[in-house]
Amino acid sequence: MAKRKVGAAPTVYDVADAAAVSIATVSRAVRNPESVTPATRERVEQAIHELGYVPSAPARALADRRTGAYGLLLPGFDDLEDAAAPAPSDGSVRITDDRGNRSPIGGAPLYYDEVLRGAEVEAWRHGAALLVAVGRGQGHDIAGRVDGLAVFARTMTDDAIARVAGRTPVVLLADEQAARGIDSVSVDNARGMRALVEHVVGELGIRDLAYLAGPKDSPDDAVRRTGLGQALAAHKVDSRSVRVRHGDFGRARAAQVAAELIAERAPRALVCANDQSALGALDAIRAAGLRVPDDIVVTGFDGIEAGAYATPPITTVRQPMRALGGAAIRALEARIADPTAAPQHLTLPVEVLLRESCPPAL
Amino acid sequence: MAKRKVGAAPTVYDVADAAAVSIATVSRAVRNPESVTPATRERVEQAIHELGYVPSAPARALADRRTGAYGLLLPGFDDLEDAAAPAPSDGSVRITDDRGNRSPIGGAPLYYDEVLRGAEVEAWRHGAALLVAVGRGQGHDIAGRVDGLAVFARTMTDDAIARVAGRTPVVLLADEQAARGIDSVSVDNARGMRALVEHVVGELGIRDLAYLAGPKDSPDDAVRRTGLGQALAAHKVDSRSVRVRHGDFGRARAAQVAAELIAERAPRALVCANDQSALGALDAIRAAGLRVPDDIVVTGFDGIEAGAYATPPITTVRQPMRALGGAAIRALEARIADPTAAPQHLTLPVEVLLRESCPPAL
DNA sequence: GGCGGAAATGAATGCGCATACATTTGCGGC
DNA sequence: GCCGCAAATGTATGCGCATTCATTTCCGCC
């Protein structure tokens, strides 16, 4: 038996020695147990167990010419780069007066967790692992580590995407203006907003609307507004009659804007570009002494947790985040299976959740 | 120049050919630019750019004997294995009556996103990547892929942890009863609860308390209850005078339990084992026609988003999830740097967030 | 008992890179 | 212009595994 370096992880050679077979047999026993005699398989498994052998993924990847891992590039939040110092507990507990603070965790919607899980489950089903990185413009750092990369919109420069795509399959996530040549999976935001507004106008018969928008340069907001316009057109509501005010997707600003809107004249329905804005709208409406949905119906968009717990709970459009993650991995696998296929652009349906702020019927 | 297979990703050999140098020089130019003449470096960089070369992580890992990646094993949620079928948009949008539903995303607290980001940032700082997997008991699948593994409590069997730990550094997360021999990073839940209750008893002077607990077999609940007991003892409140009722960490059940408690006799303070329970308590208290905090003060635990948006906002204890993720990676690096050091057990401090449901002062 | 073919196993090679060691180049000093 | 040394570059090897091809073993059958 060759000398085995102690301290180092055991390799196929160690297992082969222990089981008195060749490394080829060890490899086969692991990868394709059927191809080995039950007796030898037994011996090899025994050796593996005793040594605590775990195959080296890098070596396997090198030999296989595939890593068996997919990458997911998440957007970073601006306030997020402060992974604070260790700060072990010295026994004291900080007590903070948090009244008035409404942004428990930086105000960012935390639905990426869902996307991640959808992707992880799908990767796992295919025996692959999932590598996660936060977009920092480049993404070269993980391109060499994976068989495919799922990239959220606006987490990499177009240039960087093009470069990486030249080497590895790439799928764009939640980018409704996806580059032509690259696969994409997105969510049908426009149709979601359209369905929501059609409910307000068509089912509830409300024709006096106002729209609480997001920042003027937000692509997300633009798409949602398109859906709004379509719904209005479908029901012959003059879109010029709908007052539009821009917020910043945040609750506080939304409350201000909504208050101004109401002071001017209260609309029968206030359609908000996202849930945070809708929460702000509720604040303003309550402050104005009006009731939701009796005086004003309010709608949000996104399906954040807090919306369901608001008073009243907010009607919203929920994006299928978990499905988005799963679809991304499937798209990568399809691309790997057929590298020459035409670019695929998959659009997942959203779901309108009617809650008390804008109920099924008045 | 050797023939280069088209379609395959370029390698050091291709770059070497293009730049008319040896692969060793290419490798050096990439890894340690200083060790190469500016002129050659220039040529190599040029070739790299033209070919779109990206180093193969597996090959690098094999040669380096380290993967440059850390693993994070997240708990899976029971309801989570349904990464639904593709279901592309056929143009229709499902409209659901979601009134009465208070569990938008399975009811699970989504703070793992924060842990993930903390870990990712820390890994990135050290030039490493982060591999994410959902615990399925084993975890062998990724042990061979990483230089170290951060494992959430109860995501792997003790047996599996022991095996993996024999091959790769492992750090246990949020496991306050961490196995002696393995590094761990956890959060000081007991002290958080203690500080919170000391505020209620000491600052607010309330001695008539009730505790809305979690499931009887929950380790988290047990730890928090310990903190409760300590606070009571510190202020000489007889712990037998504190009524304890068990819920299931969910809002609906908590509301029932709280209602029973109140019907029996309303306590001056209702301490809840987590935020979801506190939300349920608010429901019950409101239904009973009582006011928070005037008639009953309510406290939660966790710091979920919805707690801050509740009416009134819930006083709670927030866990430093991002710091937890970062600390986990640092612990792995410390372990790698000194494999023989004694096991480290780091405890991070929590923070008490006082909000309207249990304000700084009455 | 020996033969032929299939099944099982072994030996050897390459995956792409880093690096120890060998070789060449460049440069100062005489 | 030549010697000697240091810096720059090249050559060769191994990392751990999968796999091809060669060899051996095992069986059924004559």
Instruction: Give residue-wise pLDDT tens across range A103-129.
Output: 444 334 457 888 999 999 999 999 999
Whether residues B121 and A136 touch (CB distance < 8 A) is answered with: no
Closest by Cα among B192, B193, B188 to B209:
B193
Return the residue in A82, A145, A276 with the most chain B beta carbons within 10 A, the one to mutate for interface testing: A145
Q: Global pTM?
A: 0.88
> Residue B224 is encoded by which pair of tokens?
């928090």
pLDDT tens column, A247-295: 999 888 999 999 999 999 999 999 999 998 999 999 999 999 999 999 9
What pLDDT sits at residue A104?
Answer: 42
Residues A181-206: what's their mean pLDDT? Answer: 94
B319 vs A93: CA distance, rounded Å: 11
State, as a whole number of angstroms, the distance between the CA of B22 and the C1' of C28.
28
Q: What is the interface size between A and B, counted as CB pairs within 8 Å?
A: 304
Q: Which among B93, B112, B195 is the nearest to A95, CB-wise?
A: B195
Whether residues B355 and A98 touch (CB distance < 8 A) is answered with: yes
Return the residue in A30, A121, A132, A362 with the most chain B beta carbons within 10 A, the one to mutate for interface testing: A132
Whether residues A110 and B105 touch (CB distance < 8 A) is answered with: no
Q: What is the DSSP string of B153-222?
A: TTSB-HHHHHHHHTTS-EEEES-TT--TTSEEEEE-HHHHHHHHHHIIIIIS----EEEEE--TT-HHHH
What pLDDT sits at residue B110?
Answer: 56
Whether residues B95 and A313 touch (CB distance < 8 A) is answered with: no
Q: Would you say residue A358 has pLDDT above 70?
A: yes
Q: Which of A150-154, A165-169, B293-297 has the highest mean pLDDT?
A: B293-297
What pLDDT sits at residue A77?
Answer: 63
Residue type, A259: A
What pLDDT sits at residue B135?
Answer: 80
A80 vs A106: CA distance, rounded Å: 8
Confidence of residue A141 (pLDDT cuts 50, 70, 90): confident
For helices A38-51 and A23-31, the axis angle rounded to 10 degrees is: 90
Q: Would you say residue A80 has pLDDT above 60?
A: no
Q: Which among A61, A99, A360 is the nearest to B354, CB-wise?
A: A99
State, as a whole number of angstroms, the distance between the CA of B214 and the C1' of D18.
51
The four Cα atoms B20, B24, B27, B32 give a dihedral, to 10 degrees, of -110
Whether residues A83 and B325 touch (CB distance < 8 A) is answered with: yes
Whether residues A327 and B62 touch (CB distance < 8 A) is answered with: no
**Residues of chain A contacting B103 with CB distance shorter than 8 Å:** 308
What pLDDT sits at residue A102?
Answer: 52
What is the rounded average pLDDT for all residues in chain A? 89
B157 vs B177: CA distance, rounded Å: 14
**Residues of chain B contacting A306 with CB distance shorter than 8 Å:** 305-306, 308-309
* 10-residue mean pLDDT series, chain B (362 residues): 68 96 96 93 95 95 96 74 50 80 47 87 94 81 93 89 89 82 92 96 96 92 95 96 94 94 97 94 96 96 84 91 94 94 92 94 88
The distance of B21 to chain A (nearest Cα, Å) reads 22
Bases in strand D with any atom closer than 7 Å to a protein CB: 8-12, 14-20
State, as a whole number of angstroms, the distance between the CA of A21 and the C1' of D22.
17
A144 vs A158: CA distance, rounded Å: 18
Strand C nearby residues, CB < 7 A: A 20-25, 28, 35-37, 39-40, 59, 62-63, 65; B 8-9, 11-13, 23-24, 27-28, 30-31, 53, 55-56, 59-60, 62-64
Distance of CA B296 to the CA centre of its chain: 32
**Residues of chain B contacting A191 with CB distance shorter than 8 Å:** 89, 91, 93
B274 vs B354: CA distance, rounded Å: 15
Closest by Cα among A311, A254, A308 to A284:
A254
Q: Would you say residue A82 has pLDDT above 80?
A: no
Q: Is B207 exposed, middle or buried (0-12, 13-18, 19+ CB in 10 A)?
A: middle
What pLDDT sits at residue B82?
Answer: 47
**Residues of chain B contacting A346 with CB distance shorter than 8 Å:** 86, 88
**Residues of chain B contacting A360 with CB distance shorter than 8 Å:** 97, 99
State, as a whole number of angstroms, the distance between the CA of B127 and the C1' of D14.
25
* Closest nucleotide over all strands to B37 (CA to C1'): D8
**B105 to chain A: closest CA residue:** A305
B253 vs A36: CA distance, rounded Å: 55
Instruction: Order the strands of the B269-272 sheet from edge to edge.
Output: B243-246, B209-213, B269-272, B297-299
What pLDDT sits at residue A86?
Answer: 45
Q: Is B179 exposed, middle or buried (0-12, 13-18, 19+ CB in 10 A)?
A: middle
What pLDDT sits at residue B307?
Answer: 86
